[in-house]
């Protein structure tokens, strides 16, 4: 089955709907090449979750903490990890207590990344559209 193709507006709407519907304790792995829309989708998920602080790419900080009406939401970007052992420095005990944990590039954290409850694969279709597969 071919994943749906979404323009930016549809991607944001899908993310907001997903953010509103994910159960507490969800761990979402976001996969896709650079520039495929992962951070855009995270912003929409956080908005749908009721988080009022804008989501930004945590590429340099690795982890961004957001408070929402259901509790803490964490957005991790593991792209800059050169080896999974570097993920040991992240506070996984605290991250595991989150209402929502969103992880970009989870494979770079290796076994440190908790198992996904949801996996989202984004892909470039063209400059204005992305494919999105949710599992």
44-83 pLDDT per residue, tens: 999 999 998 765 555 556 888 999 999 999 999 999 899 9
Q: Provide CB contacts within 8 A for 8, sequence distance 6+.
A: 40, 128
What is residue 114's predicted lDDT score, i.e. its pLDDT? 95
Decide if 84 contacts 19 (C-beta within 8 A).
no
What is residue 110's predicted lDDT score, i.e. its pLDDT? 94
The domain limits of the chain are 5-134
Q: Is the dihedral of CA 46, 10, 77, 119 positive or negative?
A: positive
According to CATH, what is the number of the domain 5-134? 3.40.50.300
**Which two tokens mark 66?**
């957001």
Decide if 62 contacts 77 (C-beta within 8 A).
yes
Regions in the chain scoring below 50 on pLDDT: none
What is residue 5's predicted lDDT score, i.e. its pLDDT? 80
DSSP string, 17-69: HHHHHSPTTEEEEEE-STTSSHHHHHHHHHHHHT--SPP---TTTSEEEEEET
Q: Which residue has the tokens 């991250």?
A: 95
What is the rounded CA–CA span in Å between residue 93 and residue 85? Answer: 16
**Which two tokens mark 95?**
């991250």
Distinct helix (H) and strand (E) counts, the chain: 3, 7
């Amino acid at each position: 089955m071919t994943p749906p193709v979404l323009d930016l507006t549809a991607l944001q709407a899908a993310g907001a709907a997903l953010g509103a519907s994910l159960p507490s304790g969800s761990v979402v792995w976001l996969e896709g090449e650079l520039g495929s829309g992962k951070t855009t989708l995270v912003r929409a998920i956080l908005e749908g979750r009721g988080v009022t602080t804008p989501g930004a790419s945590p590429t340099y900080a690795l982890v961004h903490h957001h408070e929402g009406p259901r509790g803490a939401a964490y957005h991790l970007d593991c792209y800059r990890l050169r080896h999974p052992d570097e993920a040991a420095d992240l506070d996984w005990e605290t991250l595991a207590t989150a209402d929502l944990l969103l992880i970009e590039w989870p494979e770079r954290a290796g076994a440190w990344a908790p198992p996904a409850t949801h996996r989202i694969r984004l892909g470039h279709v063209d400059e204005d559209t992305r494919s999105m597969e949710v599992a």
